[in-house]
Structure 1
Amino acid sequence: MHSDADASSFVSSSGPDTVRRIPPAANPPASAEVDPTALERRLAAIQARFDDLQAQVRQAQQLANLGTAAAMLAHEVNNLLTPVLSYAQAGLESHDPALREKALQTTVKHVQMLVNMAQRILKISAARTTSPETVGLGHVVHEAILSLGRDLGKDDIRLIVEVEESIQVYVDPIQLQQVLFNLLLNAREAMTPGGGKLRIEACRREGKAELRLTNSGRPIPPELLPHIFDPLQTTQSTGKEGQARCRGLGLALCRDLIESNGGSIEVSSSRERGTTFTLRLPLPPDEVGSQRTRRR
């Protein structure tokens, strides 16, 4: 006869007359102690790696969008270099001091324009962490337009800019310029061929600076609007030399950059009203503080 202590070690295997012994369960191992400092270091390393990969993805996306502008930029570079070559040849062949001086002046002027164009392109293609500062919204808009390297009037696009000089925002100016560059490329693409009107306007609204870019080009299909900021989403087929793929990357990049600067971006589109991208950007901290004081 077994004691109560031993009874739990026996179970019936086929009936009341057959029993087998089950070995007692081993004691579970003691929980391993977690070093909070080591865990924090590990998490910090993972976060640093994530930030680095995110910066690489942003730069790849921006370079892809610059690819869509390559033909346009090459055309403008050719336009600037052609008179330089002509005047340089004329200056070498002529002994007229006035003509040689004009040739040199034209060369300096056009080369400086090329240098400025290259500097803007290098600036907006660089990978960088978000570094917000107080900057004039109109200035950033102006720099983004210049970054196109092309007068939109050549494409029969009427550009209207209505941004008060007094409106300032607290953002990374280069990242905002990257966003506007992409949106301007998309607007130009939607209005060519055929031309149209591009209106850029801004105001202060509900504690934010609101910037709107409206173009009269081809509208975005309604079924694509909810997904237009998804990576690789596009309104065009991918058959046009990869441009549609780049465009899909560009809008995802726009949302990523705007949100990393504490803002938001949305879009509306219809055949009657055109396509409008609305950016809501943070105001400078001192302006936000003064608005709160006035409300009190």
Structure 2
Amino acid sequence: MTTLAPAADPAVDPAGASATAWPDATAALRAENDALKARLRDAERLAAVGQLSASVTHEFNNVLMTTLNYAKIGLKRSDDPHVVKAFTRILEAGERAAKISESLLSFARGGEERRDTVRLAGLLEDVLVLTGKDLQAHRVRTQTDASGDPRASVCVPQVQQVLVNLILNGRQAMPEGGLMTFTLTDNAADGTAEISVRDTGAGIPREALPRIFEPFYSTKTLGNGSGGGGGLGLPLCRDVIEAHGGRIRVESALGRGTCFTLKFPRVG
């Protein structure tokens, strides 16, 4: 007697899984991947805050000491011309303290997805307030060049995170100190704006350049003074910039340094 195998159900694959389940599984994997990327961005942000916290706290204490000292002078000389000067200094120091705390709070609010049209020069200035003391402590000088005053629609905390990551990478590439140059370019003709971060560090080997945006790939090693690298910072930088409709590119030469350029769609 011949036994006939049941006809194959077109909705079932040979392994017995429903074909209609594949789209659902793909969507679930995509959602999980997006959630993991968000968690990695948060982890990178916390790591960057940890590296900056000591320098920022030190500067904040210096600002507060200035505020307290001049407040005492103002209280003792209520009828003296020095009062105006003393309280002017109090105002300046207080504004400086507020700027530092606002920059740190803005950077820490990385979960926000809201985009605002901002001056890129102002965004860069806020990041330099946040990182300035850390760069000074590591003997890194800064120079800023600007061509125009372009605006872009960005999620400010996310772009701040990208810039902080690039600045810390550049600082780590210059263990003996050096120069970090920030260039802001308004490309009105092609509707884009650029921020470049250039260091005078060791540079990246030519063979490594094609891979630096790959997850978990890193040119840093434990013991070279950089603290090692998880290979997640640059891939996350690329994801953030591309999500803004932009591009990130890198140029580097051994012994001469590295330049990262962020390109954004220009607004206005």
- Both proteins in one fold, TM over 0.5: yes
Deviations 1:192-217 (A, max 9, x none): 43332524131316443333222223
Q: Distance in 1 between matches of 2:210 and 2:258?
A: 14
3-state SS in 1 of match to 2:228: helix
* Alignment equivalent of 1:270, drawn from 225, 228, 253: 253
Is the 1:157–1:191 Cα contact (8 Å) retained in structure 2?
Answer: no
> 1:125–1:242: structure 2 CA closer, same or farther, 3 Å change rule?
farther
Return the letter of the residue paired with 2:145. V
Aligned match of 1:180: 163
* Alignment equivalent of 2:4, drawn from 25, 33, 41: 25
Aligned match of 1:170: 153
> What's the offset of the Cα at 1:29?
6.6
Count of equivalent residues: 259
Q: Distance in 1 between matches of 2:207 and 2:29?
A: 38
> What's the offset of the Cα at 1:265?
0.9
> 1:112–1:240: structure 2 CA closer, same or farther, 3 Å change rule?
farther
Aligned match of 1:12: none
Instruction: Please say which structure displays the higher CA radius of gyration.
Output: 1
* Alignment equivalent of 1:147, drawn from 105, 127, 130: 130
Q: Distance in 2 between matches of 1:268 and 1:249?
A: 19
> 1:138–1:104: structure 2 CA closer, same or farther, 3 Å change rule?
closer
Percentage identity across aligned positions? Answer: 32
> What's the offset of the Cα at 1:27?
2.6
> 1:35–1:221: structure 2 CA closer, same or farther, 3 Å change rule?
closer
Could you say what the CA RMSD is over the residues aligned between the two structures, in angstroms? 3.7
What residue ranges of structure 2 are gaps of 5+ in the alignment? 13-17
Q: Distance in 1 between matches of 2:179 and 2:226?
A: 24
What residue ranges of structure 1 are gaps of 5+ in the alignment? 1-8, 10-22, 288-296
Is the 1:269–1:275 Cα contact (8 Å) retained in structure 2?
Answer: yes
Q: Distance in 2 between matches of 1:128 and 1:28?
A: 52
Deviations 1:251-282 (A, max 9, x none): 22211211111111121111465311122222
TM-score, structure 1 normalization: 0.69
> 1:39–1:210: structure 2 CA closer, same or farther, 3 Å change rule?
same
Is the 2:195–2:263 Cα contact (8 Å) retained in structure 1?
Answer: yes
* Residue 211, structure 1, aligned to residue 195, structure 2: yes
